[in-house]
Structures are given as structure tokens and as C-alpha cells.
């Protein structure tokens, strides 16, 4: 089940934004309820009796600056309204649960209520200030923002905005490119358009969001429509052949060639990714962690050779490595800049030793990787009510989870809507969740509730969620954790032959 994506735009020119986004696909999406646009006139919030919102910069200089007070008050009002709406939705959701709808089958029908509630835990709200001084907006950022339920855009005008209010409210500074426009409205509209396309239900054919330019890192191939001949130019004959295998091959070649010529940087990144995938696919099960972070678009392929791959996973900050010989291992390690607290996931024990030498790291957890290679979720008979965890559950999780993660990390996972639990006798009896790099884990059942099927139900629930997102579910079993190994086998996960070492 999909939820509505709510855009809130703080601007001095609300009509420019609402009119610009009311036509065509986004207009239709708004009427269908896939997206909702709220424009907020910052001027309505000024306490100045002449409705003034700007003033001269201290220290002199050209132009005027937007003042802090109206911007801040407008933003607070929007945040308050979002909070109220979310509470109302939560209450409505709980009422449904009470009516007996959300008794969740772990094996499959994760109810829409549960999933939506999980999304709602994703505060804090993101406030995007559109500015040429921001990080340049990309398709990847559009995908990331599309996972939020609410986005607040602040559009600047004149020469800018008082820095103090930016420090107070802004979470993301984003630019749409290296040029300067007269205001933030057009950039906000550009971003809203790109983000909306990624929201389920906005595009008619959901596939089109997947296959067009950029999703796989290549530019789109050339397209043709009738007539077959125009100004003596013929449509390429392969497209008239009806041979779909040849057509697909031709299109890929065209995409590659176009990207190579027009966007050499993108082409280089694509070929690196391609080389990485072909090395890692030689042992898919052992490398599923690395293959998945590439596929999910969350990793940078820093280096990819025939005999080794180095990735940087952005969400976890982990360096992921695999090399078929020690020489390549050393070459990959030499690419890693020295930081304060590097985290590594490596696939060979010689890499573990080199890292200890180079980075003075010796906290090593040895794991086996388990992969759910099927397309359908596991059959799981036990039925429990599974709910997303909330911030107040963190202590129960921290006290009962027998592994290395900090309380802060567990809280972050809960707040990201990535941890789930089962209650019994009025308390949290079992929990599990998704790690930031994308593996399933943090599974624990309190001793008195073991052997009832709670672990199986929770993992089956996570597997189902992962499959729905088009991911291959995987997890890592610490050396010696026999109960976990048994559970993985029971649920149908395959155990990889290679080892994996987490080093921190």
C-alpha cells in the first residue's frame, strides 16, 4: 500500500509554485491523492505592520535579505500541522487495529497500516533550502527524498536569507546546478517533479520510472515514431524487425555509446559498476552484501578490477572489499583514505590482517552470509501482531540485545522505521530489524518467549518486506550462533561458502 507524499513549499510567490505544478502528470497525481502540494506564503507570517519580510544586510552589500522571523514562524506552523495530521492518521490506524485488522501474518500480508505506521516514525522532518550553495541534486537524491512522507522546501529570494534561521531549521542544502536563478521557486519545482516521479502511483506505467535515463546510470537510447521515413531519414531497420532480443541489444549499445560520448564521467561509473558486478557474481552468495548495496544504489564503486572490488557504502560508512589475491587486496586498501573511525566488511582473511596492520583495527566479528534466494516469501505458520518499534522501545532493545551495537545505533534504526517487534504480556518480547547497510539482523527473543516461533515470524516479516522492495534478503550470522544458523536454514536461506569479517 502506498501513502501520500506531502510537499510543503515556503515561498513569497505561492501561485508560481501551485500553478506550475497543477498541470499534466503532477496535477493528475495530486487529484489521485498520490501527492499533495501545500504552498505557504511567508509574507502571511511577518509581524511587521507593513508586511515587510526583508531588510538590508549588516556589514553592507548589495540587495536585501529575507528576515529570520517570518521564515521561522512559517516553518514552525507547517511542522505543527504535519504533526497534527500524523497524529490523526495514527489514531485512525490504531482504531483499525483495534477492530482486528492488523493481526499480521508474518509470512506475507504485512498490512498497509503497519507499513504506513513504520513510515511515520521517520522524523525528524526534512527541511530543504534550495540554494546554489547546496549539494547538487541528482536522481539518487530524488529517490532518497521520495521515501519521506513530508518534505518542506524553503525558497529564498533577494540576495538570500538570514543565516541564523537557516541554522535553526534547515536539514538539507540543495542546488539544481551551477548557475544562479532569481529565486528558489523554480529549483523547488524541479525537485518536486523529479521526486514525485519516484512516488508509487504517480506514473501510469510504474516501469517507466525504472527504465529511463539515469536509473541504471546510462542515458536513454534514441526513440522513433511514425512516419517510417521523414525528410529522407529512415527509422533504424532493427526497430522494425520485430526481433526483441536484437532490439534490446541495439538499445543497450546506443545507450552505452551515447553515455560514453556525452557524459564520460557517467560512462566510467557505469563500466566500474559492471566490472564490479561481474567479479562479485563469480560467488554470488558470499558477495550478496556487496551486490545488493550496488543494486540498491547506495554504494560508490571506488575501484573494480578483474580480481577485486572496493565499495564505499554511504548509509553505513563501511568500506566493503573482496580480492582474489593479496596483491590486489593491498592495492584496494591503498585507495582508502585514512579517517577516524573506519568500518570495514571484508571477504578474505588476508584483508583482515592487512587492515589490522594498516589501520590498527582489531575488533573483528567473523560471520557467515545467508541469502534468501527465492522469489516468494517463506511460509510461516505462526501468527503474531508485528509492530514497528518506537523511540521509547530503545531501552528494552538495548538491554536485551546481545551484540555489539550502541544504543545510539539502535535508536537510529528505530527512528528510521527499520525495527519491528512482537509484544507479549504487555512488554516487548522479540524484535528484529534492518541494518543500515541493508542486511537483516538485530534479532532477539527474550528467553521466556523462545521456541514459540517469534524469531521465525519476525524474520519472515523482514524477508517479505525486502522482497516487496525488489531486494534479495540476506543476513550475517556471527560465528558460533547455532540457533541463528538453524533458523536461517529453516526459513530456506542458503549459507554462503565464503566468510565475512566486520572490522571496526
Q: Site residues (CB under 6 A) for ligand ADE?
A: 130-132, 175-177, 179-181, 184, 187
How far is 128 from 194, CA to CA, in rounded Å? 15
Which residue lies nearer to ligand ADE by CB, 190 or 343? 190
Helix or strand (DSSP H, E) at 128: strand 126-136
How far is 318 from 104, CA to CA, in rounded Å? 34
Which residue lies nearer to ligand ADE by CB, 156 or 433? 156
Which residue lies nearer to ligand ADE by CB, 181 or 396? 181
How far is 91 from 55, CA to CA, in rounded Å? 44
Please report how close the Cβ of residue 134 comes to ligand ADE at its closest, in angstroms. Answer: 6
DSSP 8-state symbol, 487? H
Cα–Cα nearest to 347, from 478, 475, 500, 504: 500
Please report how close the Cβ of residue 85 comes to ligand ADE at its closest, in angstroms. Answer: 28
Please report how close the Cβ of residue 156 comes to ligand ADE at its closest, in angstroms. Answer: 6
How far is 34 from 392, CA to CA, in rounded Å? 31
Which residue lies nearer to ligand ADE by CB, 119 or 181? 181
Cα–Cα nearest to 22, from 8, 13, 35: 35
Please report how close the Cβ of residue 172 comes to ligand ADE at its closest, in angstroms. Answer: 12
Which residue lies nearer to ligand ADE by CB, 128 or 487? 128
3-state secondary structure 172-189: EEEECCCCCCCCCHHHHH
- Please spell the DSSP secondary structure of 73-121, one letter per residue: HHHHHHHHHHHHHHHHHHHHHHHHHHTT----BTTS---HHHHHHHHHT
Please report how close the Cβ of residue 102 comes to ligand ADE at its closest, in angstroms. Answer: 42
Please report how close the Cβ of residue 264 comes to ligand ADE at its closest, in angstroms. Answer: 23
Please report how close the Cβ of residue 257 comes to ligand ADE at its closest, in angstroms. Answer: 30
Phi and psi at residue 271, to the nearest 5°: -70, -35
Helix or strand (DSSP H, E) at 463: helix 454-468
| CA separation, residue 109 to residues 145, 464, 491 (Å) | 26, 8, 17
Q: Are 140 and 217 in contact (CB under 8 A)?
A: no
Please report how close the Cβ of residue 141 comes to ligand ADE at its closest, in angstroms. Answer: 13
How far is 487 from 470, CA to CA, in rounded Å? 23
Cα–Cα nearest to 268, from 332, 218, 314: 218
Which residue lies nearer to ligand ADE by CB, 39 or 175? 175
Please report how close the Cβ of residue 40 comes to ligand ADE at its closest, in angstroms. Answer: 18
Distance in angstroms between the alpha carbons of the first and the last residue of the chain = 38
Which residue lies nearer to ligand ADE by CB, 91 or 133? 133
Amino acid at each position: 500500500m502506498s501513502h501520500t507524499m506531502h510537499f510543503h513549499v515556503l515561498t513569497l510567490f505561492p501561485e508560481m509554485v501551485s500553478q506550475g505544478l497543477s498541470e499534466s502528470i503532477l496535477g493528475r497525481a495530486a487529484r489521485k491523492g498520490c501527492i499533495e502540494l501545500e504552498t505557504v506564503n511567508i509574507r502571511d507570517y511577518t509581524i511587521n505592520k507593513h508586511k515587510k519580510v526583508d531588510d538590508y544586510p549588516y556589514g553592507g552589500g548589495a540587495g536585501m535579505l529575507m528576515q529570520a522571523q517570518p521564515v521561522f514562524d512559517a516553518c514552525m506552523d507547517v511542522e505543527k500541522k504535519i504533526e497534527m495530521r500524523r497524529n490523526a492518521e495514527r489514531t485512525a490506524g490504531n482504531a483499525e487495529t483495534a477492530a482486528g485488522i492488523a493481526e499480521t501474518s508474518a509470512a506475507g500480508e504485512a498490512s498497509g497500516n503497519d507499513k504506513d505506521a513504520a513510515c511515520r516514525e521517520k522524523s525528524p522532518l526534512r527541511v530543504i533550502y534550495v540554494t546554489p550553495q547546496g549539494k547538487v541534486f541528482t536522481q539518487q537524491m530524488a529517490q532518497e527524498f521520495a521515501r519521506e512522507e513530508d518534505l518542506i522546501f524553503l525558497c529564498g529570494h533577494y540576495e538570500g536569507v538570514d543565516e541564523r534561521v537557516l541554522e535553526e531549521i534547515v536539514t538539507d542544502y540543495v542546488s539544481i546546478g551551477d548557475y544562479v536563478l532569481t529565486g528558489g521557486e523554480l529549483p523547488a519545482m524541479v525537485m518536486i517533479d523529479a521526486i514525485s516521479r519516484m512516488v508509487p502511483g504517480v506514473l501510469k506505467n510504474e516501469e517507466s520510472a525504472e527504465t529511463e535515463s539515469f536509473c541504471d546510470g546510462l542515458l536513454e537510447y534514441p526513440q522513433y515514431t511514425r512516419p517510417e521515413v521523414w525528410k529522407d531519414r529512415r527509422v533504424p531497420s532493427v526497430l522494425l524487425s520485430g526481433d526483441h532480443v536484437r532490439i534490446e541489444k541495439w538499445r543497450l549499445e546506443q545507450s552505452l555509446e551515447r553515455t560514453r560520448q556525452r557524459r564520460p564521467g557517467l560512462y566510467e561509473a557505469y563500466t566500474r559498476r559492471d566490472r564490479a558486478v561481474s567479479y562479485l557474481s563469480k560467488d554470488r552468495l558470499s558477495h550478496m552484501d556487496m551486490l545488493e548495496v550496488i543494486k540498491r544504489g547506495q554504494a560508490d564503486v571506488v575501484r573494480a578490477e578483474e580480481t577485486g572490488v572496493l565499495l564505499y557504502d554511504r548509509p553505513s560508512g563501511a568500506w566493503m572489499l573482496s580480492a582474489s589475491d593479496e596483491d590486489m587486496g593491498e592495492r584496494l586498501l591503498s585507495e582508502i583514505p585514512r579517517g577516524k573511525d573506519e568500518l570495514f566488511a571484508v571477504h578474505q582473511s588476508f584483508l583482515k590482517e592487512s587492515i589490522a596492520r594498516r589501520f590498527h583495527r582489531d575488533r573483528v566479528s567473523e560471520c557467515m552470509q545467508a541469502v534468501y534466494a527465492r522469489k516468494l516469501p517463506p511460509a510461516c505458520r505462526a501468527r503474531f501482531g508485528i509492530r514497528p518499534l518506537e523511540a521509547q522501545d530503545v531501552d528494552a532493545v538495548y538491554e536485551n540485545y546481545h551484540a555489539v551495537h550502541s544504543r545510539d545505533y539502535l535508536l537510529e534504526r528505530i527512528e528510521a522505521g527499520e525495527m519491528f517487534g512482537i509484544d507479549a504480556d504487555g512488554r516487548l518480547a522479540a524484535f528484529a530489524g534492518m541494518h543500515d547497510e541493508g542486511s537483516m539482523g538485530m534479532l532477539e527473543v527474550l528467553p521466556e518467549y523462545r521456541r514459540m516461533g517469534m524469531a521465525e515470524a519476525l524474520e519472515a516479516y523482514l524477508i517479505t518486506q525486502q522482497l516487496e522492495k525488489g531486494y534479495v534478503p540476506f543476513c550475517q550470522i556471527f560465528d558460533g550462533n547455532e540457533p541463528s544458523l538453524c533458523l536461517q536454514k529453516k526459513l530456506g536461506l542458503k549459507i554462503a561458502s565464503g566468510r565475512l569479517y566486520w572490522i571496526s
